[in-house]
């Protein structure tokens, strides 16, 4: 399996940002920080799923192309 190193690094950084978002949401004292933390977590999840989709789309294209 050929994984692009830059995709791996960006994916891991986004996973860390997602965890930071959950930590921010868990310790929030106001609604704005809670919403920001959950939004950061949601964005990180969607971004990582997009990286996974792109990776498997490339593998599929190589297999058929």
Alpha-carbon distance 8 to 12, whole Å?
A: 6
Per-residue pLDDT at 3: 83
Give the CA-trace dihedral at 12, 13, 15, 21, to 10 degrees: 170
Q: Is the pLDDT of residue 46 over 80?
A: yes
Per-residue pLDDT at 1: 64
Q: Is the pLDDT of residue 2 over 90?
A: no
Encoding tokens for residue 10? 């960006």
How confident is residue 36, by pLDDT bands cut at 50, 70 and 90? very high
Evaluated on CA atoms 55, 58, 63, 64, the torsion sign reads positive
Count other C-beta atoms under 10 Å from residue 11's C-beta: 19
Q: Is the pLDDT of residue 53 over 80?
A: yes
Q: What is the pTM of this model?
A: 0.88
Q: Is the pLDDT of residue 4 over 80?
A: yes
Encoding tokens for residue 56? 């498997």
């Amino acid at each position: 399996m050929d994984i692009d190193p830059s995709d791996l690094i960006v994916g891991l950084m986004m996973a860390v940002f997602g965890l930071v978002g959950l930590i921010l949401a868990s310790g929030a004292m106001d609604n704005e920080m809670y919403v920001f933390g959950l939004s950061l977590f949601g964005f990180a999840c969607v971004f990582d799923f997009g990286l996974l989709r792109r990776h498997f789309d490339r593998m599929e294209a190589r297999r058929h192309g």
